[in-house]
Structure 1
């Protein structure tokens, strides 16, 4: 199955160049609740902000990776996820299809994400996320997310804890109301990390 990042998904929104241009000084804390911090940053040339979610999870790295790689069950913790499936896997690279729920009357979105997973010498794991919208033909009645760039960074910090960072920037495609776009950049990292943490910490 590969070390796919299912959650990456939802998010369903982001851009690598934009992320690199968002320097550390530009990130501002907009939510700090239930042990999850959400930061936002402006992205030059984009109407949509980049987001970064940070939390600590009381779990072992092996369990966290196992939960993330369960494609069938991933929509239980990926915010606004309606469907997610593995399209292909080739060594450390996976391709993931995600269909997202949006409130009426906004058209539903789907995305195709390439996930490249690397493990460092210190045991930390990074999943680099990149949208590949042309990997499959567009589906009827769905708007394909046009750009997505981001990453998951998971680092053991001792005492059975893992620091998890989920960062991304998205161009959702089509017409998206400002209120929905603004809520998504906060809700996606917050609810995704909160749900994932609850799942991996449950025994």
Structure 2
């Protein structure tokens, strides 16, 4: 079935293939820019796949809204490209969690799953305020699931840096090997869209009322009424989500 997918995707996506012969494989190259979102590509010599990075800037007065969105696993499919479910199955602390994602790939490709460790890194000083979530592949952290092909390789990061005037610069960077019978050039084309659509949706959804005026004591961020007048934590936000898989 996935052999048929090669021909199908080749016809659909051939026009969007970018020539690689003129690229410097050691530098980030801009591959698209639209709606205030830039997508860059970089090739690693040790990998058959390319790394893609998306960046955008937008107004965000309440940074805790991003934390609230990250804690809302049920909403991940609304903004995280190709993802149709997300769940937490272990937690070492609020800044170190283990997550399982499942994908929704174009027919007739088989769906995949990712088993990841999400570690949060914060920089807070006079020169910089930033929060970055590092996604580290942990394919052996859960037993195999015959309903999905598990990503053999994946790494990513998602986070922001405060740039002043109530603005943040958001970044989403990802590299993964989808496994199964998908050639690298098709995987790279699919991956190229992920940073753009993820950031475009995230910057809209994070403005929803349900993510505003929250407070989480495990991160020191800007936010209205921090912390005295912020909305109290609900049990779902303050305790780990345990899932039976």
Q: Shorter-chain TM-score: which interval?
A: 0.7 to 0.9
Q: Specify which structure has the higher proportion of strand.
A: 1
- Name 2:119's counterpart in structure 1: 116
Instruction: Report the secondary structure of 2:134's partner residue.
Output: strand
Is 1:71 matched up with 2:73? Answer: yes
Q: CA deviation at 1:202?
A: 4.6
Alignment of 1:58-137 (within 5 A): 58-59=59-60, 60-91=62-93, 92-122=95-125, 123-137=129-143
Instruction: Output the CA distance in 2 between the equivalents of 1:142 and 1:133.
Output: 12
Report the TM-score when normalising by structure 2: 0.69
Q: CA deviation at 1:178?
A: 4.8
Q: Which of 152, 156, 159 does residue 150 from structure 1 map onto?
A: 156
After superposition, the C-alpha distances for 1:61-101 in whole angstroms (9 at most, x for unaligned) are 11122112211211110111111111111122101100001
Q: Distance in 1 between matches of 2:58 and 2:72?
A: 18
Point out which structure has higher relative CO (alpha carbons under 8 A, 6+ apart): 1
Deviation at 1:183, TM superposition (A): 2.3
**Distance change (3 Å), C-alpha of 1:186 and 1:159:** same
Deviating above 6 A after TM superposition, structure 1's stretches of 4 or more consecutive aligned residues are none
Matched, 1:138 2:139: no
DSSP 3-state at the match of 1:26: coil
Say which of 145, 162, 175 aligns to 1:169.
175
**More off after superposition, 34-43 vs 165-174:** 165-174
Q: From the CA coordinates, give the structure whose radius of gyration is larger.
A: 2
Q: Any conservation in 2 of the 1:57–1:201 contact (CA below 8 Å)?
A: no
The residue aligned with 1:33 is 34
Please list the CA deviations of residues 17-42 of structure 1 after superposition, one character each: whole Å capped at 9, or x if unmatched.
xxxxxx99511000100111000011
> Are the structure 2 counterparts of residues 140 and 80 from structure 1 closer, same or farther at C-alpha, using a change threshold of 3 Å?
same
The CA distance in 2 between the partners of 1:150 and 1:111, in whole Å, is 12
Deviation of 1:201 (Å): 3.4
Q: Which runs of no fewer than 5 residues in structure 2 stay unpaired?
A: 1-23, 210-245
